[in-house]
Structure 1
C-alpha cells in the first residue's frame, strides 16, 4: 500500500501517478546543496576501456559518432556540436566504464576542489589538453573535473525534417525521405549509474559539484525511507539545462547502466535505428518517450553489451524548477512505447547477479531485504 498521503496505488490510477509534478513532503530531501564546493557547468565526457579499439570504432561510427582522434592506446569520439570529445575509449583488458568527467565553469573552481579534496590540479598530456582534478565518489567511481580543454569546431548537422501540423502545412510538393544512415550524434546528454550507496553518492554530487535534483523516485510503501533514484542536473541559474546530466539509482551492483547521446529528431532516431539493425546490432528497448525528462528514446547494446541511447526533444529546466516525486516502476519509465524489456531493466536472473545481491546484502550500504524486495516489485509494476 502506498505511504503517500491522499494517493491510491491501485493499478487503474498507477500510470497517472507516475508523472512527477508532485513535490516533496515535509522533511524530505530538498534535492539542493546548501553550500557546494563548486557548480559544474556540464558533463564533459565519459571514459571507457575496451580490448578491441577497431571493433569499438566500427560500432561508434554505426551509432553516429565522429572520430576526433585515434592513437594506438585510445579512441576519442565526438558529436557534431562544438566542444570536446565526448567519449574516450582506452585500450584495456576488458570492456568497462571507468568514470565521468565534468566541465568546471571557471579555472578557479579547480583550485577550490583541490583545496577541499587534497587532490592536485594536474595538466593533461592527452588529446584535448586542459587541466583537471581527479576525485573519487562514494561508490568508487573516479570523477574528473576539467577546464581549458580544446573546443572542437562544429561538424555538418543532420537537418530536421519539416513537418505538417493540421492547418500549418509548410511542406508541399516535397515527400519525406529520411536517409537510411547513422543518426548523427550531436552531443553527450547524460550517464546513469547504479550504486548500493545511493544516498551517500547523491549527497556527494550535490555538495561537491553543485548538481541539483530534477526528479526523485521512491519505492511504493517505502517513501518515508527516502528516494531510490534521482535525476540530477547542473545548476546554471536562469540558463535552462538538460533535465538530467547524471541519474543514479539504488541497486545491489556498483556500475554503469547507460549513457545517452542527443540526435536531431524522431526521424533520425528511427532511421538511425534501422541502420543499426541492418548492421547487425541489437536494440535493448525503444522507441518511446520517457516521463522524467520527456525524451524520445531508443536503447542499443554495443558489441561488448554496454548500453547506449539515442535521444531527442528532452526537457530543459532552469534553477527555478523544484524536484518532483513519483513512485518507481518499470511502467513509469515511458509515457508511450513498448514495455521495458528485461534486458533494459537488467532483471534477467544469472549467477553473477545472485552473487552481487548476496555481496550487497552482507556489505555496509543501503541494500537490505526490504529495499531489495521493493526494487524487485518495482521492476514488475
Structure 2
C-alpha cells in the first residue's frame, strides 16, 4: 500500500497522471545506503584541519591520502586523495551484500575488483550518464562506533525533564555521526535520474519543478534508498538539472541543534566561512547549516531529518529559493551559486555553452526557469 502525499505528510501536491513515477519497476539491485564520497585535493594538511574542525575523525593519514569517519560504525565516509587540483572524484553506495555487487557487475559488463586493504571488500566501478564515478561496494571493514555527543535534555512548555542542572554546550567541533546525502547537478537530469533508479532501486521522495514549467517535467529530485518497511533518510541523493555536471554539496549528521549551533560558532571563530544557516528545510525537514571548506566545497551539518519507508509516493512542489526553508535567513547568493567570483563566472560560462548544445536538457526555457529560482 502507498500513502497519499496529500495528507499533510511532506508535500502540498501529489503527482498528476502521466508524470514521472519516481521509482523503477524492476531495478537491478536495491542499495542499502551511501557508503562514502571521494575527493582530490592538493593540500592534505589544510583539508584535514578543516575536517577536524567540522567534526570528522581521521582514520588513516598517508603522504597520498586521508580517510575520514564519523562516530557511527561502518567504513570511512570521506576519502581524500592528493591531486593536482581540487575536485569531486565520485561516490560509493553500499550494497546489501556481495551477491548484489556481482549481480550489477554481470548486468553492466563491468568486472568487480578488490578494494584497498585499508578498506577491504569488493567494488564495481560505474559511471553515471553525467560522467560522475559511482562505485557499489560490499564486505568493507566495519569500524566500531566512537563515543559521541548526546542530544540535550530539554524543558519544553510545562514538561520538566531537567532540574537542578544547566545547559552549557561547549563551542567545540560538532561530532559528525555519519554521511547523510550528496547533491549533484546534471545537464541530462532525467536520463541520470532514471539511471540511478534503474540501477540501484532508489525511490523519489520529492520532485521540484520550475514555476510555470511543470508540464515539461521535474528539474530536481530528492531520492532515498528503498529498504521496504524500514524508514530511511528522506534523501540519500539529490539530483538537479543545471548547465554543468558537478558536485553541489554533501551533508553530515550531528546529534542536535546545539551541536549544529555550537559547532558553527567554533568554525566561525577560527575563520571558516558559513554559506547559509541556521534554518530548517522544507523537503526533508532537516535542521541545516552550510559551510565552505578551504577548497570551496559546500558541506552541511544537519539533524532531525525526515525518515520515510517505501510506502510514500513522491511529492511535487515548485522550485523557489524561498521554498528551500521553513525558517531561517534567506538563502544566500553564495549558497545559490550567484555570488560574484570564480565559481559563478564558471557557471555563467556553462549556461551559455549548455543552451547552445542540443544534446542536453538545459535549454533556453530551462535557463529562464533557473534564473527565476534565484529571484523567488
**How would you bin the TM-score normalised by the shorter chain?**
over 0.9
- Tell me what 1:229 maps to: 220
Counterpart CA distance in 2 for 1:41 and 1:251 is: 28
Give distance in 2, aligned partners of 1:112 and 1:353: 38
Root-mean-square deviation (Å): 1.1
Local SS of the residue matching 2:375: coil
Residue in structure 2 matched with residue 27 of structure 1 by the alignment? 18
Residue in 2 aligned with 1:249? Answer: 240
- Name the counterpart of 2:362: 367
What is aligned with 1:378?
A: 373
Aligned partner (choices 126, 144, 148) of residue 139 of structure 2: 148
Give 1:320's aligned residue. 311
Q: Distance in 1 between matches of 2:338 and 2:315?
A: 26
Q: Which runs of 5+ in 1 are unaligned?
A: 1-16
Residue of 85, 89, 96 corresponding to 2:87: 96
Deviation of the 1:126 alpha carbon: 4.5
Partners in 2 of 1:347 and 1:27 — Cα distance? 34
Q: How does 1:1-381 map to 2 (within 5 A)?
A: 20-348=11-339, 350-363=344-357, 364-381=359-376
SS in 2 for 1:379: helix
Q: Quote the Cα distance in structure 2 between the aligned partners of 1:95 and 1:269.
A: 26
Normalising by the residue count of structure 2, what TM-score does the alignment of the two structures yield?
Answer: 0.95
**Cα distance in 1 between the residues matched to 2:349 and 2:230:** 44
Secondary structure of the corresponding residue to residue 76 of structure 1: strand
Query: C-alpha distance in 2, partners of 1:301/1:322?
Result: 34
Deviation at 1:351, TM superposition (A): 3.5
**CA-to-partner distance for each residue in 1:302-351, whole Å, 9 max, x for gaps?**
00110000000000000011100000000000000000001001123543
> Please, which runs of 5 or more residues in structure 2 have no aligned partner?
1-7
| Higher mean C-alpha displacement, 157-166 vs 268-277 | 157-166
Q: Which whole-Å CA distance do the structure 2 matches of 1:126 and 1:331 have between them? A: 46
Deviation at 1:74, TM superposition (A): 0.9
3-state SS, counterpart of residue 38 of structure 1: coil
Report the Cα distance in structure 1 between the residues aligned to 2:84 and 2:120, rounded to whole angstroms.
Answer: 25
When residues 126 and 53 of structure 1 are mapped into structure 2, their CA distance, relative to the original with a 3 A threshold, is farther
Distance 1:336 1:126 in 2: 45
Shifted more, 362-371 versus 298-307: the winner is: 362-371
Q: Deviations over 1:256-279 (max 9, x none)?
A: 000000001000000000000011
- Tell me, in whole angstroms, the C-alpha distance in 1 between the residues paired with 2:199 and 2:338: 32
Which stretch shows the higher mean deviation, 223-232 or 351-360?
351-360
Q: Deviations over 1:232-279 (max 9, x none)?
A: 000000000000000010010110000000001000000000000011
Q: CA deviation at 1:222?
A: 0.6
Q: Distance in 2 between matches of 1:315 and 1:46?
A: 22
Paired residue total? 364
